[in-house]
Amino acid sequence: MHILGIDIGGSGIKGAVVDAETGEMISERFRLETPSGAKPKEVAAVVGEVVRHFDWTGPVGCTFPAIIRNGVAYSAANVDKSWIGTDAKALFEEVSGCPVTVINDADAAGIAEVVFGAGRDQNGVIIMLTLGTGIGSAVFVDGHLLPNTELGHIEMNGGDAESQAAESARQRDELSWKKWGKLLNQYFQKLEFLLSPDIFIVGGGVSKKSDKFFEYIDTRAPLVVAQMLNEAGIIGGAMAAHAIFQNGEDGEFDRRVILNEQANG
């Protein structure tokens, strides 16, 4: 089934048509800048432009950098605080005229990686982390997603972990790869102590330079680089919408459905 996946980020809003059953993008990716301030109406207007670019009338799967429950945003990571309490699903449906599923951005990327990417053949506890402006997280247990984890905000050195260990912190503080890697090591070891994962999947643009900092991270669980790169959010968003379309929406979306369907398909 073909679904339009849209990935909303702090700097860009990207979309492509996806075959949600194979994880393949069947159109070129289309990207527009995220409006300055990233307020609801302005972001929604860009989502509408992306939909119109593809002349799309079917289901849309949209990622968003926030805690999402039943289509409503309950936090605002790298977007305007007025998103908190906003019904993103209703807003995007109004501007697009399409049925829209909204999912946390890291959760969407994680679904794509677990079904089609670096976590495809992994069992047990999988933690995916995206290192960028902040630290996004997605946690899976035997292929079942624990939604809306915010592991970037655990306490570290008396403060917020992502303010010290995100890629943006490395750039802001002009840290060497070694100094940043040692901060990441603290963060990864804390997560390992708390959750005992079987594998860490590391995404975000900086993951392409993993050779510069992986050597400073000492964990029992292996570290692997995400395979889906910048396409993960688009593909995972489309997969979430596909599951809704196939199985209906009764309360909050059960993200296990699509993982089980793919595993049994």
What is the band of 253 on the pLDDT scale with cuts at 50, 70, 90?
A: very low
Confidence band, pLDDT 50/70/90 cuts, at residue 21: confident
pLDDT for res 97: 96
> What are the backbone angles phi and psi of residue 25, rounded to the nearest 5°?
-85, 125
Indicate the class that CATH gives domain 118-227.
Answer: alpha beta
Fold match between domain 2-104+230-264 and domain 118-227: yes
Question: Residue 225 has which token pair?
Answer: 């680089």
Q: For the chain, what percent of residues have pLDDT higher than 70? A: 92
**Three-state secondary structure string covering 134-183:** CEEEEEEECCEEECCCCHHHCEECCEEHHHHHCHHHHHHCCCCHHHHHHH
Band of pLDDT at residue 135, cut at 50, 70 and 90: very high
pLDDT at position 222, please?
A: 96
* pLDDT above 80: residue 188: yes
Q: Could you tell me the CATH superfamily of domain 2-104+230-264?
A: ATPase, nucleotide binding domain (3.30.420.40)
pLDDT at 249: 52
Mean pLDDT of the 132-138 span:
92
The yes-or-no verdict on residue 3 having pLDDT over 80 is yes
77 or 181, higher pLDDT: 181
Mean pLDDT of 55-63: 96
pTM: 0.90
Question: Where are the domains positioned within the chain?
Answer: 2-104+230-264, 118-227
**Mean of pLDDT values over 90-116:** 94
Give the C-alpha separation, 195 to 137, whole Å: 13
pLDDT reported for residue 9? 87
Rg (CA), the chain: 18
Banded pLDDT at 254 (limits 50, 70, 90): very low
